Chains A and B, each alone.
Chain A
Amino acid sequence: MSIKDKLSGNEAIATAMKQINPDVVAAFPITPSTEVPQYFSQFVANGTVDTEFVAVESEHSAMSACVGASAAGARVMTATSANGLALMWEILYIASSMRLPIVMSVINRALSGPINIHNDHSDSMGARDSGWIQLYSEDNQEAYDNIIQAIKISEHGNVKLPVMVCLDGFIISHSVENIEILDTNKVRAFIGEYNPTEYLLNTQEPVAMGPLDLPPHYFEHKRQQAEGIKNAKDIILDVAKEYEQISGRKYGLFEEYRMEDAEVAIIVLNSTAGTAKEVVDMIRENGAKAGLIKLRVFRPFPSSELKKALSNVKVVAVMDKAESFSDAGGPMFVEVRSALYGQESPKIVNYIYGLGGRDVRKDDILKVYDEMFWILERGTVDNIYNYLGLKE
């Protein structure tokens, strides 16, 4: 039996963590993810979980302690946002290179500077090449569901990589929604016991981790890491199938919304997908063939799957809530265009939007669809690289 509850995004994350009952949580407060360790430390204080909660002195130490705890053989979780993620940067790479299954919720927020506490994706997009799996969540329900699945994905023997579960700061983290939570026993049965094979506290077989790795071996180790991320695609799908059986909710690498015969489509991450779905419905009512792809898995990037999903689409707009300052488009645009390279269609266009929490309304998204239909009619793209909702 699932239980209905009214929870904010951060509460949903903390609730999933409570049900997971990880061995160690090490965290440092940063808006808008602060509530996650805050709720969680209350669970610890009340004895609801038996987790060791380490209230560290910085995010750098949070990730460092997570690495230590995970290497020691514990199931480990944390949460962060923006500059906190940036401060962890160095250790993100070390966590993934040690193949440690740490699960972290990233409550997306703009990176300084200038300082801004509101939502965009500059934080997690900046960390995209750190070797972590990245799952994105449209709403509170998906944030909850992704956290539980993340544990199983990261610990899988063919993956052994850390996972970040991303959700939009404030828009999701602080908004209360009705969600369905699973029975705790069901969650625990789903994730199972964590039984690592090589770990520091294994008294039968001491292990050394984090060596100096010179040219004769480093390259091979990176190749193995890449193999883990490659394997993750199938594991993510397997875990989703298994999760569907206990939750009734279906997950894939991305969600296709009204894509059956779509001529134009938006590709977007996180909460904007919800707004965009409404716009798609409006357009469809007028008989125009609009669709939407909401990417759930950004790392590993589902190139071939996206290529297939977009094979009959004429115009695609990639919406990036992050700049990459390449003067050639946002981070997701680059990935999608690269996935589609060598194909005649669709035509592709990029919109940078919503930076630093700039509101994105239905009208804004409607404008993107209007422009796509215009491109479809004219057959040419005038401006590939656009800003949406900017005060000109």
Chain B
Amino acid sequence: MAITLKEAAKLEDRFTGGHRLCAGCGAGVTVRAVLRCIKPEDKAVIAAATGCLEVSSFLYPYTAWKDSFIHNAFENAAATLSGVEAAYNILKKKGKVKDNHKFIAFGGDGGTYDIGLQSLSGAMERGHDMVYVCYDNGAYMNTGIQRSSATPKYANTTTSPAGKVLPGKQQFRKNLTEVMAAHNIPYVAQTAPFGAFKDIHEKSEKAIYKNGPAFLNVFTPCPRGWRYETPKLMEIIKLAVDTCYWPLYEVEDGQWRLNYRPKEKRPITEFLKLQGRFKHLFNEENKGLLDELQNEIDIKWENLLSKCEAKEK
């Protein structure tokens, strides 16, 4: 079911204002968009991995979550929510819980791609009826911008600094969305709070109301870590999608589907130049690195198209 922006605007926000996330942070936007897609009559339990979102939204004695919320540790949001879901199943069977509950975990890329990967993989494999949402901002932002396996190549972070010998992070980012698709769970999607939010709303709704585990990888800019001007949030998201750095696609019951094809594929430099973390790439001597990044994006985009088109034929 499509949710128009007009309809979405009427829904109650389940994540309140007054949280302490930075201005221009994508995480709050992502969380609000996902939670909006829970039907108003349904209850939810939200779990979060340790990270910006958690420390900014639940600072004792205040909480920004209208639904029940649990934070356990950095690497175990999925395992924690597995337990919650197991408890729900039995308590519902015993008649101790009456309402319908939905289970949603939020983790940054550090708590998802890296330290939390095992618990995420385990929970998905066991088939718990939950949605795991990775808000991917491409580094350990909460501890001061250290590199993660989601950090793009050549990004300047505090543990992959651009210096005299090394121009930032040395590796391409892990493709977690495809790793999750390989779990053969009912629903995996890559999305972003893009345009009129149609993509993220539709995918969130599908993920939440699909039986069994679902994974959403959401492109979530970070003004502190990426060094962009606060009002540029939506522009950066649009460029990530239009450069095909962050393609919007889904894998539903094993079927790959591209959800957005840019009218004009923009060069990756347009996405990079708005961000201070790539500033060093625009020095004359690093021209070859930009070419390398463009080449890599082109190859990955073609690979994705072939996966999606192969199914469409």
Binding site for B on A (CB under 8 A): 23-24, 26, 50-52, 54-58, 60-61, 64-74, 76, 90-91, 94, 200-203, 206-214, 217
Contacts and interface: CB of A to CB of B under 8 A. Distances in A.
8 contacts: A54-B83, A60-B118, A64-B72, A64-B119, A72-B88, A201-B97, A208-B63, A212-B54
A65 B84 CA distance: 7
Given A52-B90, A65-B83, A67-B83, A211 B59 contact: yes
Contact of A200 (B63, B70, B94): B70
Interface in B94-131: 94, 96-99, 101, 118-119, 121-123, 125-126
A91 B93 CA distance: 28
Given A24-B90, A68-B85, A207-B68, 20 more contacts: A23-B87, A52-B89, A56-B122, A56-B126, A60-B76, A61-B119, A64-B80, A65-B83, A71-B70, A71-B83, A91-B76, A201-B45, A201-B68, A201-B88, A206-B68, A208-B65, A209-B69, A209-B70, A212-B59, A217-B60
B121 A57 contact: yes
B90 A51 contact: yes
Given A23-B91, A94-B73, A68 B60 contact: no
Interface size class of B (residues with CB under 8 A): 35 or more
Interface of B: 43, 45, 47, 54-55, 58-61, 63, 65-73, 75-76, 79-91, 93-94, 96-99, 101, 118-119, 121-123, 125-126
B87 A201 contact: yes
B262 to A, nearest CB: 39
A202 B43 CA distance: 10
A12 B212 CA distance: 35
A57 B97 contact: no
Nearest to A209: B70
B90 A206 contact: no
Ranked nearest first, the 6 interchain pairs of A and B with the lowest CB-CB distance are A68-B83, A57-B122, A65-B83, A69-B83, A61-B79, A72-B87
B91 A68 contact: no
Contacts of A56: 79, 82, 122, 126
A223 to B, nearest CB: 15
Contacts, number: 167
Given A57-B119, A71-B70, A64 B83 contact: yes
Nearest to B100: A203
Contacts of B80: 64-65, 67-68, 71
A230 to B, nearest CB: 23
Which of A52, A61, A94 has the most chain B CB atoms inside 10 A of its CB? A61
Contact of B76 (A54, A61, A200, A209): A61
A91 B70 CA distance: 14
B87 A24 contact: yes
A68 B101 contact: no
Contact of A72 (B63, B83, B98): B83
B72 A68 contact: yes
A9 B61 CA distance: 44
Given A91-B76, A208-B63, A211-B60, A24 B86 contact: yes
A201 B101 contact: yes
Nearest to A55: B126
B71 A211 contact: yes
A57 B118 contact: yes
Contact of B118 (A51, A61, A71): A61
B87 A69 contact: yes
A70 B121 CA distance: 22
Which of B47, B58, B72, B85 has the most chain A CB atoms inside 10 A of its CB? B72
B122 A210 contact: no
A211 to B, nearest CB: 4
A23 to B, nearest CB: 5
A217 B99 CA distance: 33
Nearest to B67: A206
Contacts of B75: 60
Contact of B93 (A50, A70, A211, A213): A50
Contacts of A200: 45, 68-70, 84
